[in-house]
Amino acid sequence: MADNFEFLEEIDKELYNAIKDAQKLFQDEYFNQCAVQLRIFAEKMAKRVLGSQAENLTFDDTLNCLKDKIKSETEREFIDDLFFIKKMGNKCAHGEDVLVSEALESVKRAFEAAINYAYSRKKDESILKLHFDDTLLITGKKQQEIKLVDKYIQLATEQKEELLNAKQGEFNNSVDKNEEGIRNESYVSNPKKYKEKKINPKKEKIKNKIKEARKNLKQNINFEENKKTKKPITKTPTKPKKQTQKPKKNKKKNNKLQKYILFIIFVTISLIFITKMLFFF
């Protein structure tokens, strides 16, 4: 059955068997026993790194010796991982239970430590590219490399990049420039905005008619308002006209008012009609 530590088998068979047992205990949900087995794995690895000096040393003494010899950040991380694994193993040895998260973290720390150990022995760059797979630890089966939804996201990202590259090509070949002769950078994001606008003669004609009608309507309204606010001219009193002439005068006023109302109605209808034609074209 596949596991996360297969790379270690050909480098150190004894270490691989120890970590293999720890993984099996985790899968069977024996988390305390898993933590203890991981401590055994970490102690063997630490003594291998220290060499012959660690023959009669305890795990604590071995780690402290390695700690004194730290020369790089990688070595510091290696020692920190081993200290954490030892801490969890000691916790179980004193009758305390480890949490599932703590057991999982111990396995992951063992993986990182094994990566550093294996690389120091084999100097194979491919080892540094390995990643821990939670699913593989729990089920013994590798997680699918890319889920279906991830494939669609990746495809959409690639298409977006192709579109941006095409837009960049349009920008590079464009002649769109500002007054100083420099291309407008925003052409890449919205090239349609910078295309020359063509004037529709029909729309232009309708717009002119609307402007003219509005102008005429405004002039007529202003004329009527000025007529109402104009001061009456004082005239010398004259003889009152006969009553027979009054109805004719009122009739003329009514005719003018009707013409004015009809004119406004005509102009309003014309504006509505012209506006509809403008949006239609």
Q: Which positions ≥6 away from 124 have C-beta within 8 Å?
A: 118
The Cα 103–Cα 109 span in angstroms is 10
Is it the case that residue 279 has pLDDT exceeding 80? no
Average pLDDT over residues 234-242: 52
Q: How sure is the predictor about 275, in pLDDT bands with cuts at 50, 70 and 90?
A: confident
- Dump the DSSP string for 102-118: HHHHHHHHHHHHHHHHH
Q: Which segment of 52-61, 136-145, 178-187 scores lowest on mean pLDDT?
A: 178-187
Per-residue confidence (pLDDT) for residue 281, from 0 to 100: 57
Q: Is 110 exposed, middle or buried (0-12, 13-18, 19+ CB in 10 A)?
A: buried
Q: Mean pLDDT for the chain? A: 78
State the architecture of 6-139 in CATH terms.
Up-down Bundle (1.20)
**Mean local confidence (pLDDT), 48-68:** 90
- Among the listed residues 78, 43, 36, 80, the one whose alpha carbon sits nearest the alpha carbon of residue 60: 43
**Cα 145 from Cα 137, distance rounded (Å):** 16
Lowest mean pLDDT among 38-47, 135-144, 227-236, 250-259: 227-236
- Is the predicted pLDDT of residue 136 greater than 60, yes or no? yes
When comparing pLDDT for 82 and 229, which is higher? 82
> Is pLDDT larger for residue 185 or for residue 151?
151
pLDDT for the residue 155: 67
Tokens of 24: 């099996």
- Residue 56 reports pLDDT greater than 70: yes
Q: What's the start-to-end Cα distance of the chain, in Å?
A: 73
Residue 215 has pLDDT above 60, yes or no: yes
